[in-house]
């Protein structure tokens, strides 16, 4: 079977130090987490920025720059910048960070209701972000919260804004989005182009079971405190421990983990 790509999403927009002391907030903490997770077996890091002052989600270019600079200097990880909108929904606030030319960036190809807010991605915004990534040579990870978002990704490829083979991330188990379940996962997998690659990010208690399904189905996995702060119920996790667990469990069933360079080949990235 193909090797397993482990993406770590260490920070996200929501977990606070009050919720878990293990969430890295400052650039220094995020870089340090990246180093530890790379040694543990991760090959991709999904990056969000926070205001070091109060921990809130940030769209400040300088913070993204510091994180990317440190990760490039100290790791071989594939950097995947989030273009998510929790720190500001306007295109200008979400595209500037792409100038850092990470190898990958997230691209959500539709809108979805989060529990207390609308994650709004208008057709114009999606196209503008896709065009920026195309021009800067950044591979989008198409974030799928619902089936229609796969279709939108395929349509963007037909328009020439995304270059196949496409890469999808199925975000499952978030209230308001697609429920976490193997039946839904099979359907999502069967709905993407045959040459596409895919990762699954299960939210909360869905992280581990959805990751295990992906291991067996030939997909890839995303772990990390952005999606889930617990190792088991009632016991807080560290990012590193979540990566290590996937390496161990995947190894137990004979699926080896990809190094960052092997992940670049699988994802058709040109470094
Ligand atoms: Zn994210």
Intervals of the chain under pLDDT 50:
none
Mind listing the domains of the chain with CATH numbers?
6-267 (3.20.20.70)
Quote the ligand 1 centre to 108 CA distance (angstroms): 10
pLDDT of residue 117: 87
pLDDT of residue 271: 61
Quote the ligand 1 centre to 45 CA distance (angstroms): 10
88: left (phi over 0), alpha (psi -120 to 50) or beta: left
Cβ distance 68 to 105 under 8 Å? Answer: no
Quote the ligand 1 centre to 174 CA distance (angstroms): 13
Determine the length of the chain: 271
Quote the ligand 1 centre to 114 CA distance (angstroms): 13
pLDDT digits (tens, 9 = 90+) for 26-85: 999 999 999 999 999 999 999 999 998 999 999 999 999 999 999 999 999 999 999 987
Quote the ligand 1 centre to 94 CA distance (angstroms): 13
Backbone angles phi, psi at 104, to 5 degrees: -135, 160
**In sequence order, what are the residues at sequence separation of 6 or more whose Cβ sits closer than 8 angstroms to the Cβ of residue 240?**
33, 36, 37, 40
Quote the ligand 1 centre to 183 CA distance (angstroms): 24
pLDDT of residue 223: 98
Quote the ligand 1 centre to 237 CA distance (angstroms): 18
Quote the ligand 1 centre to 97 CA distance (angstroms): 14
């Amino acid at each position: 079977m193909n090797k397993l790509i482990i993406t770590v999403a260490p920070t996200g927009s929501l977990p606070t130090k009050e919720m878990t002391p293990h969430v890295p907030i400052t650039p220094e903490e995020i870089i340090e987490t990246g180093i530890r997770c790379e040694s543990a077996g991760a090959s991709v890091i999904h990056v969000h920025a926070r205001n070091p002052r109060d921990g809130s989600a940030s769209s400040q270019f300088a913070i993204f720059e510091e994180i990317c600079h440190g990760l490039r200097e100290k790791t071989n990880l594939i950097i995947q910048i989030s273009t998510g909108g929790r720190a500001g929904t306007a295109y200008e606030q979400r595209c500037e960070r792409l100038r850092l030319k990470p190898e990958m960036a997230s691209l959500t190809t539709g809108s979805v209701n989060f529990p207390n807010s609308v994650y709004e991605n208008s057709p114009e915004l999606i196209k503008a972000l896709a065009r920026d990534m195309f021009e800067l040579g950044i591979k989008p990870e198409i974030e799928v919260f619902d089936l229609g978002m796969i279709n939108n990704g395929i349509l963007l490829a037909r328009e020439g804004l995304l270059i196949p083979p496409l890469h999808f991330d199925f975000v499952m188990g978030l209230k308001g989005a697609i429920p976490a379940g193997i039946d839904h996962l099979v359907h999502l997998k069967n709905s993407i182009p045959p040459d596409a690659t895919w990762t699954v990010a299960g939210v909360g208690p869905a992280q581990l079971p959805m990751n295990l399904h992906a291991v067996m189905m030939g997909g890839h996995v995303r772990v990390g405190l952005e999606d889930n702060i617990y190792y088991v119920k009632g016991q807080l996790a560290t990012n590193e421990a979540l990566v290590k667990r996937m390496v161990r469990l995947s190894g137990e069933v004979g699926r080896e983990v990809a190094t960052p360079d092997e992940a670049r080949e699988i994802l058709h990235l040109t470094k």
